[in-house]
Homo-oligomer: A and B are copies of this chain.
Amino acid sequence: MKWYLDSGNEGDVVISSRIRLARNIKGFPFANLLTDEQSKKILALIKDAATGLNLRYLSMASMPEVNRRMLVERHIISPEMLRNTQRRAVLLSDDEQISVLLGEEDHIRIQCMTAGLDLWRALDLANKVDDVLEEKLDYGFDPRYGYKTCCPTNTGTGLRASCMLHLPALTASGYIETLLSSAAKLGMTVRGLYGEGSGAGGNMYQISNQITLGISESESVKRLEDLVKVVIEKERGMRDTLRRENDDKLVDMVSRSAGILKSACLLSSEEAYNLLSDVRLGINMGIIKDIPIEAVNELTITTGVAHIAELCSEDTPSSRDKKRAEIVKKRLIKH
C-alpha cells in the first residue's frame, strides 16, 4: 500500500513527515557542472550502490512527461527534476516511502516520507538508505563543515526535516500569520503545499527546519518536532473555538463541500483540492461520518492535473474537469 493512503500519528493535523539527506560523491563537481560523461558515470555508480535496497530505478528521460508530473504531484520528485531529464533519475520503493533523487541539485537526495507525525521513523529509514549507499560510495565530507552540498545552506548534516500540516482553523482565524513569523524566528520555514512560492492551497503548509550547520541530526529533528507539536495544539484549540462559536456555519461549510464533491460534473484541480480540505476537516472533527479519511488522502493525490491527464484520451482542461468529477464521485459515493 502507498504510504499516503494511511493516516498516522496526530493525523488530524499532520499529513506527513519527511526527512531529506543531501549527499555528493567525492571527486566529481556538483551536479550543475557535471559533463554528460560524468553524469552517466555517477548515475551508474549510485544505481549500483543501491542494489539490495529493493528500489526501482526510473530514468527521467525514458518516462513520458505526464508520468514525471505525476511523480511531482505525489511529492516523490521536485519540480526541478522535470528539467534536464537526461541527467536525472529516481530510485523508488514500492510503497513510495523511500525515493532517492539522482542528479538534482546534489548528486544524491535521499527522501523518506511517513504518514502523520513520525519524523524519527523517517530519519531511521533515511539513515539506513544512507548507510547502504555509503558502503560503496565515497561521499564528499569535511571534518569541520560536514557533508559538502551544492547549496551552502545544506552544508553540515545535509538534513532537512519537514512536516506537512493541515491548518484550516488557524488559516480561517488569521492566526496563521503570527505562526509564520514565529516559525521564521526559530529558523524554520513555512510554505504552501507545492513548494516555495506557492500559496497554501487547501490549507496545507509545509514546516521545515532549515538549520543544518552546528547542530546534530537528532537535535534538528527534535526542534522541528517540538514546533510541530505546538502548532498541533494551536490548531486543535482553534478548531474547538470554531466549533463553540460558529458550529452551524462550520457544519454547513464542510457538509456543502462534501455535497459538491459528490454531485459536481466538472471540477477543477484547485476547487477539488479546496473542497477535499474542507472534507478532511469535517472528518477529523467528527462532522462527516460517511467518508473515510483514506478516500480523502487518495483523492488529494489522484485528482492532480497530471494524474487526471493520464486518464483522459483528450488532454484539455474541460475534459480533465469532467474526468476529475467522475473519479471523485465514484470514490466518494461507493467507497
Contact (Cβ within 8 A) B256 A260: yes
Contact of A182 with B by CB under 8 A: no
Q: Find out whether the CB atom of B260 lies under 8 angstroms from the CB atom of A265.
A: no
Stretch with Cβ within 8 A of B (4 or more), from A35-43, A122-130, A169-177, A247-255? A247-255
Interface residue from B248, B256, B259, B263 paired with A322 (Cβ < 8 Å): B248
Which residue from B252, B259, B318 sits with its C-beta under 8 Å from A259? Answer: B259
A47 lies within 8 A of chain B by Cβ? no
Do residues B259 and A255 form an inter-chain contact, with CB atoms below 8 A?
no
Contacts of A322 in B (CB 8 A): 248
Q: How far is the CA of A264 from the CA of B252 in the complex (A)?
A: 5
Report if A325 contacts B (CB, 8 A). yes
A264 and B260 within 8 A (CB): no
Contacting A256 at CB < 8 Å: which of B251, B255, B264? B264
Chain A count of residues within 8 A CB distance of the other chain: 17
Partner of A265, one of B255, B265, B325: B255
User: Cβ of A262 < 8 Å from any Cβ of B?
Assistant: yes
Is A258 part of the contact surface with B, judged by Cβ < 8 Å? yes
A319 to B299, CA, bound (A): 35
Could you tell me if A259 and B249 are in contact, using CB atoms closer than 8 angstroms? no
A248 to chain B: which residues have CB within 8 Å? 265-266, 318, 322
Indicate which residue in B252, B258, B263, B266 contacts A249 across the interface (CB closer than 8 Å).
B266
Q: Closest Cβ of chain B: how far from A281's Cβ, in Å?
A: 14
CB distance from A44 to the nearest CB of B (A): 49
Whether A256 pairs with B252 at a CB distance below 8 angstroms is no
Q: Are B263 and A256 in contact (CB under 8 A)?
A: yes
Residue of chain B at shortest CB distance from A319: B248
A48 CB to closest chain B CB, in angstroms? 51
Docked Cα-Cα span, A137 to B310, in Å, equals 79
Chain B residues whose C-beta falls within 8 Å of the C-beta of A265 in the assembled complex: 248, 251-252, 255-256
Given contacts A248-B322, A252-B325, contact A262 B264 (CB under 8 A): no
14 pairs of residues in contact across A and B, judged by CB atoms under 8 Å: A248-B265, A248-B318, A251-B265, A252-B265, A255-B264, A255-B265, A256-B260, A256-B264, A259-B260, A259-B262, A259-B263, A260-B260, A260-B263, A262-B263
What 9 pairs across the A-B complex have the smallest Cβ distances? A259-B263, A252-B265, A252-B266, A259-B259, A255-B263, A251-B265, A255-B265, A256-B264, A256-B263
A residues at B contact (CB < 8 Å): 248-249, 251-252, 255-256, 258-260, 262-266, 318, 322, 325
- Apart from A252-B264, A255-B264, A255-B265, what are 14 other A-B pairs with CB-CB below 8 Å? A248-B265, A248-B266, A248-B322, A249-B266, A251-B265, A252-B266, A255-B263, A256-B260, A256-B263, A256-B264, A259-B263, A260-B260, A260-B263, A262-B263
